[in-house]
Each structure stands twice: as structure tokens, then as C-alpha cells.
Amino acid sequence: MILNPYYMDVIEWSDKLALFPEVGNGTTQKLEDPEKWQDWATNLIGDPDDIGWDTPNPYDFDDWREWAAAFFLTQELM
């Protein structure tokens, strides 16, 4: 289960998400700079074109919450 992003800031959400071993590619670093959330998210999921499911590409979103909500929904449906 992925955490709903609407009640947290990006640092809090990314810190909590890192606690779930089933999320990410195993090499995700702590997000230090909120402005670099797209880089962090890409590291989290790997290449969206290579992972084989409908994970949204972070670079298609300007707002981290919109991306996180779309990510949340794809994980909820799995």
C-alpha cells in the first residue's frame, strides 16, 4: 500500500514511503531537496518505460502531489 500524499509535504511523504520495502527499486536515497522530487521519484520507480506497469512518469507532472496521487492509485490497483 502506498501512502496518500494529500496530508503531508513531499519530504514527509518520501520519508514514510521509504519505510515500505516493497516500494521502489531498493536504491532510493532520502529526498533532501523538495525541488528535486522528480529526480528522487525517478530513482524510486526506475525507468517508467521499463517497469511494465502503469506507473506515471514524474517528469510528466509539475506538482509532486499530482504525481504521487497517480502513483498511489496505480499501486492501490495492483
pLDDT for the residue 35: 96
The average pLDDT across 3-23 equals 80
Q: Where are the domains of the chain?
A: 1-15+36-78
**At 21, is the pLDDT very low, low, confident or very high (cuts 50, 70, 90)?**
low
**What is the model's pTM?**
0.77
The average pLDDT across 10-25 equals 76
Do residues 1 and 76 lie in contact, with contact meaning Cβ atoms separated by under 8 Å?
Answer: yes
pLDDT for the residue 59: 93
Asked if residue 47 has pLDDT above 70, the reply is no
Q: What's the CA gap between 38 and 9, in Å, rounded? A: 14
Which residue in 55, 46, 49 sits closest to 76, CA to CA?
Answer: 55
